[in-house]
Amino acid sequence: MGQGTTVENLTGLSRRVSPHGRIMALSMMKDEGPYVLEWVAHHLAVGFTDLLVYTNDCSDGTDEMLKRLEALGLAWHRENRIPEGLRPQPSALNHGQAEPLVAESDWLIVFDADEFLSIRYGDGTLDDLIGAVKAQGANGIVITWRIFGSGGVHHWSRDPVTEQYLMAAPPMWNKGWGVKTLFQFDPDHWKLGIHRPKIRNRWLDTDWPDTVKWLNGSGRPMEDYFRFRGWRSIVRTVGYDWVQMNHYAVKSIDSYAIRKFRGNVNFKKDKYNTDYWALQDRNEVRDDTMLRYHAERTRIFDALLRDPVLNRLHVAALERAEARLAAFKGSAEYDGFVAGLKAASAIPITQVEAKPPQARDKDKIAALMSEVEKRASGKRKEELAKPGPERMLAPAEIYVRETVDTTAEPPTEWFPNRTIELPGDPRLFTPQGLLLLRDGKFDRNLVRNLPRFLPQGAAVLELGAGCGFLAACLSRIRPDLRLTVQEAEPNRARVLGRIWARNRIALRLAAEGAAGLLARRCDTLVIGDPSVNADMVEEAIEETGAAPRQIVLTGRRLASAFPDLSEWQALAVRWGLSERLPFDATAAWGMRRPPD
């Protein structure tokens, strides 16, 4: 590889070999000197066999470091010669399309210097991940960004980026859902793109697009449209269970200052302003998955520094950045810069805007959509229109299903829903839930209708209260009720406590587990906890000798059970609950014993 045979290699490192062939990372850089070696070390640790980087207008030794890495046989460097009127990224992709090394790649992904691949699947390497993709008969995986913020770090540090910054945006915050695509590359069929490749026009109206099968970041099949268009995930396709692309766009305040001076790879004027900081400085949840790479990344990084040329260039890049930062810190402008960023950090996540480069033109998008995609979409609609068994309306998923991390208390916007204020917190609520919450419609149908079916003084048991909204409303609407409320997941219970405290709700969560609570008598049983199943409920209630007069499924329990509610319907029959409660099917399912 490269000129490794002509240069003494003191690193002890050599090119990785993969059972999946050549796995190529293609990137573009400009003045990334302080970070180049970490980026290279990390992605060698992850399992890339080839790293190809195009550089333009470097003044801090980034290009020299990459040339040295090529001489050592550890990466490839190319100069990005930019034709007049073209931006650096498209220029680099055009060069890459014609590059023999790229053509020889078996798997390829395009991503930037501030992006680091993070694999949760298997042993954390590309070998395991690609093996899992191929095992499903797929030939690509669409990897969603995870935005990482400053974590409150102000001052410059030489510590690794991937270990300094461990606070990130919530997984269900959809303004950070840009993607990068790792796929089996064939230059005859694919044209390179920043977020995803494009099928060459001559293959669009053939059977070849049907051979494209991509998975999302959780290993589930992507929707068909993404073969033809799109650059970001949507609610139906987002996933982080297998892999994500960590996006460290801002880092610390001082690092951001250096980046602002440096400019960017696409010549975007005033890109690094306070609006961009507010968008990218997301610190709502901790994600330390990257720490799994600590030992191997450190081993490779230290080995790179054993090369005297790389060592000299790396230290020079750090000292140059630190000198520029010191000059800026000594100016009056610096204090204003810091104040602006800190004010931007205080903006609640629900108020942050992601501004596209240009307004979305739906007519133009429709015109550009290929006839192939239109036909595929038409076939899908025909299938859905065919007569079949009675269809149930899917419940509105208002809560994030996965385990949530709510230990941090980030800036939060609160919204009134009936008489209760709820936080616009995407750690807890899905995008759909947030929209309902902002409009004052959160769980509106259930809260409006359930109280009128509760007898005077009724005992109500709610398992899996989520954010505690239903219980809070009932306590105000029907103070005669005897409410027992439980939320087993500590992180959700933490937010619930904050909500009740803010709204002065005089309720306490039950400390007892679900089985113990079910053994008590209750008139109405409300279940939102997805871990509570019908057998568990029936077994526990047998001890009381008295089944509840009403049972209601809502929130996470309803979403998890859908579309098969047969076990709950059978339980209702055994208890003599034969009358359906008139809830909106997207909000709740409930049965009751007919009045005497």
Task: Report pLDDT digits (tens) over 95-124.
Answer: 999 999 999 999 999 999 999 999 999 999
Q: Are residues 297 and 424 in the same domain?
A: no
In this structure, the strands spanning 140-147 and 214-215 are parallel
Please write the tens of the pLDDT for every residue from 49-59.
Answer: 999 999 999 99
Both structure tokens of 411: 């800036």
Q: Are residues 337 and 211 in the same domain?
A: yes
Show which of 333, 351, 369 is a domain's final residue. 351
Q: Are residues 446 and 562 in the same domain?
A: yes
> Angle 566-574/534-542 helices, nearest 10 degrees?
20
Strands (E), 195-314: 198-199, 214-215, 243-247, 285-286
Residue 384 has a pLDDT of 42
Residue 572 has a pLDDT of 96
> Are residues 53 and 76 in contact, defined by beta-carbon separation less than 8 angstroms?
yes
pLDDT band at 265 (very low <50, low <70, confident <90, very high): very low
Please write the tens of the pLDDT for every residue from 541-550.
Answer: 987 778 999 9
How far is it, in rounded angstroms, from Cα 517 to Cα 540? 9
Q: Residues 6 or more apart from 267 whose CB is under 8 A from it?
A: 87, 88
Q: Quick one: average pLDDT of 516-540?
A: 95
Averaged pLDDT of the chain: 91
Work out how many domains the chain is built from and give that number.
2
- The full 3-state SS of 353-410, as one line of letters, equals CCCCCCCCCHHHHHHHCCHHHHHHHHHHHHHHHCCCCCCCCCCCCCECCCCCCCCCCC
Indicate whether 216 belongs to any domain.
yes
Show which of 317, 351, 385 is a domain's final residue. 351
Q: Are residues 46 and 192 in the same domain?
A: yes
The pTM of the whole model exceeds 0.75: yes
Indicate whether 551 belongs to any domain.
yes
> Are residues 138 and 214 in contact, defined by beta-carbon separation less than 8 angstroms?
yes
**Higher-scoring residue by pLDDT: 411, 369:** 411
Q: Are residues 63 and 212 in the same domain?
A: yes
* Structural domain boundaries, residue 336: 23-351
Rg (CA), the chain: 28
First to last CA, the chain: 84
Q: Residues 6 or more apart from 502 whose CB is under 8 A from it?
A: 414, 421
SS3 445: helix
Residue 372 has a pLDDT of 58
How far is it, in rounded angstroms, from Cα 260 to Cα 150? 15
pLDDT band at 3 (very low <50, low <70, confident <90, very high): very low
Indicate whether 402 belongs to any domain.
no
pLDDT band at 356 (very low <50, low <70, confident <90, very high): low
Checking 269-278 for CB contacts under 8 A at 24+ apart, the result is 274/340, 274/341, 274/343, 274/344, 275/344, 275/353, 275/355, 276/249, 276/250, 277/250, 277/340, 277/341, 277/344, 277/345, 278/344, 278/345, 278/347, 278/352
How far is it, in rounded angstroms, from Cα 367 to Cα 529? 46
Show which of 328, 351, 374 is a domain's final residue. 351
Indicate whether 378 belongs to any domain.
no
Q: Quick one: average pLDDT of 380-399?
A: 62
> Are residues 401 and 429 in contact, defined by beta-carbon separation less than 8 angstroms?
no
pLDDT band at 170 (very low <50, low <70, confident <90, very high): very high
How far is it, in rounded angstroms, from Cα 265 to Cα 125? 28
In this structure, the strands spanning 550-554 and 524-527 are parallel
Residue 304: HSE in the Cβ half-sphere, 13 Å Cα cutoff: 30
Indicate whether 397 belongs to any domain.
no
Please write the tens of the pLDDT for every residue from 460-485.
Answer: 999 999 999 999 999 999 999 999 99
> Angle 332-345/308-329 helices, nearest 10 degrees?
100
Residue 390 has a pLDDT of 43
Q: Quick one: average pLDDT of 552-557?
A: 97
Q: Quick one: average pLDDT of 521-542?
A: 95
CB atoms within 10 A of CB 119: 22
pLDDT band at 243 (very low <50, low <70, confident <90, very high): very high
Q: What is the CATH number of the domain that holds 479?
A: 3.40.50.150
